[in-house]
Structure 1
Amino acid sequence: MLQPDRENVRAGRRATAVSIAAEVRSGVRTALEVVEEALDAAERLDPVLHFLEELDGAGARAAAERLEPTGLLAGVPFLIKGRTPPDSPIVERLLAAGAIAIGRSTRARPGAISQTFGWNGRDYTRNPWDLSRSPGGSTAGGAAAVAAGVVPLASGGDSGGSLRIPAAFCGVVGFKGTYGRIPRPGGRPLGGLTTAGFIGADLDDVILATSIASGPHRLDPTALPHWPVPSVASWPGGGGGVRVAYRSTLGIEPADLAVDRVIRERLARADVVVVDVPLELLPTEDAWSVLSGLDAGRGAEAAAANRAREVRDHNNTALADLFAEVDALVTPTTLTVAHGYDQHEESIVTGDPCWVFNVTGHPAVSVPAGLADGLPVGVQVVAPHGADDVALAVARRIQVALPQPELIRQSAGAPRASS
């Protein structure tokens, strides 16, 4: 008989973290059984997709065997983004909730011109929807593995779209909470761009994982207070309509017509009201570069730092005025669908709608809106500072359920790859 996760794959469904943990806590399945299935999927699919930096089968099995199956994520396998410090609060708290790390996922190659790729030291990470395409980046391997059904969750950090871009390219969920939502091992950097977070196949999984990882930590005592799982399904109350503003682009480059069309058609069918509200943002590129340099310890001249602060302040005010009129702002997550995996030497502009909200620190989530030419289109939902629950509730109304990629459904019965 097929195991539950293999049955889900053949039916075009993914097993969620919430359902896996419930089965492990109830004794329907053991954590070791779940981990073995994840390792099997990783060994079958990584030779094709190249999403692993490292697979830790021995460590994952040992963790599963000693697990007390009581946590909110009991037995849930996940991937840690490559080069994440071992004492990172996001990892520490997932492990404490019973999740089991099966390895580390690929990220962009150091020094790459564009960061929307993954690299395992030998080959570039591929997109499960089309092996000629990139899964995005820099959380490339995590998104590819989640889209392929290997794990339901992958951790990462987002300083310019590193969670949302790969989520959009791979047809899954990527969430960057309000700046400081999840503590970071280095504490609060000078530039303040990066927010730790998750990529997942299911919105509720990402919400739960974010709640578990949230709250101040000894390594980052300035992080925001613990964020309880919100009751997003019923927001807003009173039967009122959800009002959103839509912008097909926030920069100079326009979104591809096919991407724009998919999102407009989805908004027309979703339970939201699209209203026209003015929004004038200052260009973000220079400010982002200055703040990124500060985060990396490179410093900045006073005039450049002051200009970056002015851009941040102006855009925060402009967005506050927008949110006085609407509940959320909706944009394409990326201007294009997934580009070629072999375009890593090109300067690719696709994530412009993302880094605006790293500079300002607003919560932003990417969910699937549909397909264009057979590839996923992501829609980004942004809400006021601290209103993470609003962004997620609006995203729930807009998102569509995509099937697993055909490649993954075909591989469900494939034998384990030889080691």
Structure 2
Amino acid sequence: MADSGELREVLASIDREDRGLRAFLDVWPEDALARLPAASRLPLAGLPFAVKGPTGLRSYAARRLIAAGGVPVGSTSVPGPGTPWQTWGLGRHGRTVNPWRPDRTPGGSSAGSAAAVAAGLVPLATGSDGAGSVRIPAAWCGVFGLKTTNGLLPSPDRSGLASAGVLAASAAEAETYLRCVLDGYACVSPALPLSAAYSPDLGFAETEPEVAAVVRGAVRRLEAAGVVRLSGGLDLLDPAAAWFAARGGDVRPPEAELRAENDRRLDAFFARTPLLLTPVTPNRPHGHEGPGDAFSTALTWAFNLSGHPAASVPAGFTGDGCPVGLQLVAARGRDAELLGAARVVERALWGPGAPFAQVHGPRG
């Protein structure tokens, strides 16, 4: 919640920090301050937030947040022209940097949203996720990210792959988002231990050993704390061909059968196990020149095809200081249960203030 002094400080911080971070496309100080008096009488009471990209202010989620008293302070960077990998952002001051490692990308395409939240400039920002575009930057910037169940919220994506999402300083902040945008949302506090399965690679991805080790270490901590009880695993077919076919609108029988087979496997899995745990990405944040031959989306885009809700919770760091994300996936429509599980996981890994100290590390 913000009064005029607090909102001015948010805007001053953006003006000061963003010349190096380059997370914003545009900032709206006059509009934000003008919205505050009316917003302060509504449930969010002037909570500042950022929106993804030049059209983000027109999104369903942004309109619902504003109606609840949120104050949009600016639009965040997305990839510029000629960036087929969609893993970096172009802001008003140049290419967006990762707050933890300026020589690395923040991920994308919700690049600026993740970077702005990680740097503490806003508590939450809207995003959208068609292949991992919320979860990947959340993982690489060390913040919380949620992709909602496909079709749960309006999306302009004709392929049906993209779903609305949020980048937030914590799962609790993300709950503010869901409470505003999802009619009938009710907080879910799960019974412990959570029944879950862990897969380091979904049966096909070439996950970097150190990335897998960081995530496996986080999962072991959750087991030791009595938060999760693991059983079984999950292997899928590599969804790359099916994703590209769906995105291009030219789905042929081999790709259709691949997608259908993965759906069968996922339906069978979630019929017996409510939660799947994996790394968010098989790789760590790459340099601004790109990831080379690696698909940073290898562990995320299966759930854009299947429609399942999925989240990224900070899991730890590689030895070179790069954040790593733990992906949580739940059954379709179980967004509230997924967020409840994420809150518990986050608290177990980072403590009751989770993950405030961890998120704000880049700013010292």
Q: Same fold (TM over 0.5)?
A: yes
Inter-partner Cα distance in structure 1 for 2:153 and 2:271:
26
Aligned residue number for residue 397 of structure 1: 344
Name the SS of the counterpart of 2:217 in structure 1: helix
Q: Distance between the aligned counterparts of 1:85 and 1:378, measured in 2?
A: 25
| 1:98-113 → structure 2 map (5 Å cutoff) | 98-113=69-84
Tell me which of 208, 212, 215 is aligned to 1:256: 208
Question: Residues 377, 54 of structure 1: CA spacing in aligned structure 2 closer, same or farther, 3 A cutoff?
Answer: same
With over 3 angstroms needed to count, the CA separation of the structure-2 counterparts of 1:153 and 1:380, relative to structure 1, is same
Deviation at residue 46 of structure 1 after TM alignment: 0.5
1:144 shift after superposition: 0.4
2:306 alignment partner in structure 1 = 360
Matching residue of 2:221? 269
Matches of 2:40 and 2:166 in 1, distance apart? 22
8 Å contact kept, 1:198–1:206 = yes
User: Do structure 1's residue 172 and structure 2's residue 143 form an aligned pair?
Assistant: yes
- Across the aligned residues of Structure 1 and Structure 2, the Cα RMSD in angstroms comes to 2.0
Q: CA offsets, 1:169-197, max 9 Å, x none? A: 0110110111122223x3x72x2101011
Task: Indicate how the Cα distance of structure 1 residues 280 and 332 shifts in structure 2: closer, same or farther if over 3 A, else same.
Answer: closer
| Preserved contact between residue 120 and residue 360 of structure 2 (Cα < 8 Å) | no
Please state how far the C-alpha of 1:345 moved relative to its aligned partner. 7.9
Asked whether the equivalents of residues 77 and 101 of structure 1 are also in contact (C-alpha less than 8 Å), the reply is yes
Query: Residue 407 of structure 1: CA displacement?
Result: 4.1
Structure-2 residue corresponding to 1:4: none
**5+ long unaligned stretches in structure 1:** 1-19, 25-29, 215-225, 295-299, 410-419
User: Which residue identity lines up with residue 143 of structure 1 in the other structure?
Assistant: A
Aligned-partner Cα distance in 2 for 1:369–1:406 = 14
The structure having more radius of gyration, on CA atoms, is 1
C-alpha contact (below 8 Å) 1:106/1:140 kept by paired residues: yes
Out of 329, 346, 352, the residue aligned to residue 276 of structure 2 is 329
Match of 2:246 among 291, 310, 323: 291
Normalising by the residue count of structure 1, what TM-score does the alignment of the two structures yield?
Answer: 0.79
TM-score normalised by structure 2 residue count = 0.90
Kindly indicate whether the alpha-carbon contact (under 8 Å) linking 2:139 and 2:313 is maintained by their aligned counterparts in 1: yes
Report the number of matched residues.
351
Residue 38 of structure 1 pairs with residue 5 of structure 2 = no
**Identity across matched positions, percent:** 35
Q: Match for 1:230: what amino acid?
A: C
Relative to structure 1, the CA distance from residue 355 to residue 68 in structure 2 (aligned partners, 3 Å threshold; closer, same or farther) is closer
- Give 2:333's aligned residue: 386
Deviations 1:70-89 (A, max 9, x none): 32322111111113254321
CA positional deviation for 1:337: 2.2
Q: CA deviation at 1:133?
A: 1.4
Deviation at 1:405, TM superposition (A): 4.5
Per-residue displacement from partner, 1:373-392 (whole Å, max 9, x unpaired)? 22211000001111122322
Which residue identity lines up with residue 112 of structure 2 in the other structure? Answer: G
Structure 2 runs not aligned, ≥5 long: none
Q: 3-state SS of the aligned residue for 1:370?
A: strand
